[in-house]
Chain A
């Protein structure tokens, strides 16, 4: 299947600063693609290049197999960096302009997206009177106009309150379920972990890794166990066959095993036979945060 977006050796410098160095990856259709990286790692630069705001020094990209062009951008709903609207115009007027430029949506659709982002009551108010969160919602609404197949969100939950963040997360899940391809940059790892199917990690312009979340994260299985006597538990588990290492984490013991070899019943039986009753036993996926820190730490 043809990827929705494919990047091929993209590099970009600002003077002596290399913002992106030879970045290549594909975004498959229907993916929720998380783009991660610390501040200044090149996430927004990358999104700006694929949206034709910045020119890459070298390399190329293709949307739907075609080089970037106004027609391809019209098919993509995008929110890049900040909500960009005419301050003296109302939400409806601003979206009318978005709709006219992108050929996405119409008057009814404008009402529909304002309903989704909960701005219907303030739709006639000037953009300049909006709070930060409302501005962000309007930008998300603009991206949703015309129900595009592909969405690009740069830090979509910026400025939103906890309820707003949860709502946007739900919205992204619903969109993903409907088969939309979503490319999302974020430094909120928790957020990405909850919704993304794929992930790419950038650091100082280098692509560290890219691929399906499960594959990127899971290079080992972690089993968390606990019992009343931790010392005894530790010494028993030392003898458990096949583990790579053991770590004590507060009142828990973490047992690391090669990918796909964690079998809870075996561990349970092993401990019980050695006279230990467990009060906790679960497989823990490595969190994205752990992986991220592992990859981005020097």
Chain B
């Protein structure tokens, strides 16, 4: 296992697209969260009574411990960035025909898929580390008097990791099965951004929210919209609590879906001509 990990790390660390992805994620995560934070500050600083009301109702979403949740939620919109890298990492093997060479040189077919699983694990871990640093940074910056609360809501770190792993696994499978980077990316984008959003939205009102079992939505529900989104409206509190109560179930569904994703890849690779 360790040699496999070392080989994959060598492939990844010397791949320029990896550093581009890391740089873009490193800018995007603080950027998008910073914009939201700026919006929050604008709404809550001022002499108007509404400003104070807002502050009272919202709490500070970027102070500890709420920052773990808020930053995870906003950052997770950008799964697209590491997905591009994951798709490139697998389609590269086809382009360079190294998917054959690795087998010729002595890997089993299962080892090849395991090596790709390591790719996805490495990228997920690195993205999670960036999230962790950004969330912790906002926590300290937003309200340093609350830093003692940093240990609360730490569950969002493994949840963020699991969500990233699950969604990148789907991206991987698309790249693995389709073999062509641009087609795989196109399908990924179109499905992730358009089709599933429409389907989930439709199902929420018409089909008893059955859309939560769609491939990306299963893991999207691991990190529901943060609490300050829900402090408006009559049923908001109830729906927020409901969303929280669904998380444990979705942890299991996500793990099952991710396991199934990889099992399909292992099964296909065992049979397929390379």
Contacts and interface: CB of A to CB of B under 8 A. Distances in A.
Contact of B104 (A69, A71, A78, A86): A78
Given A86-B98, A88-B15, A88-B16, A51 B103 contact: yes
A53 B104 CA distance: 7
B242 interface: no
A293 interface: no
A71 B106 contact: yes
Given A53-B273, A70-B107, A101-B106, A84 B100 contact: yes
Interface in A43-84: 51-55, 69-71, 73-74, 78, 80, 82, 84
B273 A54 contact: yes
B106 A73 contact: yes
Contacts of B96: 84-87
A82 B99 CA distance: 13
Contacts, number: 71
Interface string A9-53: 000000000000000000000000000000000000000000111
A55 B103 contact: no
Contacts of B233: none
Interface string B204-227: 000000000000000000000000
Contacts of B152: none
Interface stretch (B3-11, B29-37, B46-54, B253-261): B3-11
Contacts of B92: 86
Contacts of B14: 88-89, 93
A97 interface: yes
Interface string B1-45: 001001100110011100000000000000000000000000000
Interface string B148-190: 0000000000000000000000000000000000000000000
Interface residues of B, number: 26
Nearest to A89: B14
Interface string A97-138: 110111100000000000000000000000000000000000
Contacts of A53: 100, 103-104, 273-274
B10 A80 contact: no
A95 to B, nearest CB: 11
B103 A74 contact: no
A85 B103 CA distance: 13
B105 interface: yes
B98 A70 contact: no
Nearest to A52: B103
A12 to B, nearest CB: 9
Given A70-B111, A86-B92, A88-B14, A80 B100 contact: yes
A73 B103 contact: yes
Given A51-B103, A101-B107, A84 B10 contact: no
Interface in B62-105: 92, 96-98, 100-105
A113 to B, nearest CB: 14
B234 interface: no
Given A53-B274, A54-B274, A84 B106 contact: no
A197 interface: no
A87 B105 CA distance: 18
B10 A96 contact: yes
A71 B102 CA distance: 13
Contacts of A55: 271, 273
Contacts of B273: 53-55
A70 B10 contact: no
A65 B85 CA distance: 43
Do most interface residues of chain B lie in helix, strand or loop, or is the interface mixed?
helix
A93 B271 CA distance: 30
B106 A74 contact: yes
B15 to A, nearest CB: 6
A164 to B, nearest CB: 21
Contact of A97 (B11, B15, B104): B11
A84 B97 contact: yes
Contacts of A89: 10-11, 14
B10 to A, nearest CB: 6
B19 to A, nearest CB: 11
A71 B10 CA distance: 23
Nearest to A145: B105
Given A86-B96, A101-B102, A101-B107, 19 more contacts: A52-B103, A52-B104, A53-B103, A53-B104, A53-B274, A55-B271, A69-B108, A70-B106, A74-B106, A80-B100, A80-B101, A82-B97, A84-B96, A88-B14, A88-B15, A98-B105, A101-B7, A101-B106, A103-B106
26 contacts: A53-B104, A53-B273, A70-B106, A70-B107, A71-B106, A73-B103, A73-B104, A73-B106, A82-B97, A84-B96, A84-B98, A84-B100, A85-B96, A85-B98, A85-B101, A86-B96, A87-B96, A88-B16, A89-B10, A93-B14, A97-B7, A98-B101, A101-B7, A101-B102, A101-B106, A103-B106
Interface of A: 51-55, 69-71, 73-74, 78, 80, 82, 84-89, 93, 96-98, 100-103, 142
Interface of B: 3, 6-7, 10-11, 14-16, 92, 96-98, 100-109, 111, 271, 273-274
Closest 7 CB pairs of A and B: A74-B106, A84-B101, A84-B97, A101-B105, A102-B105, A102-B106, A70-B108
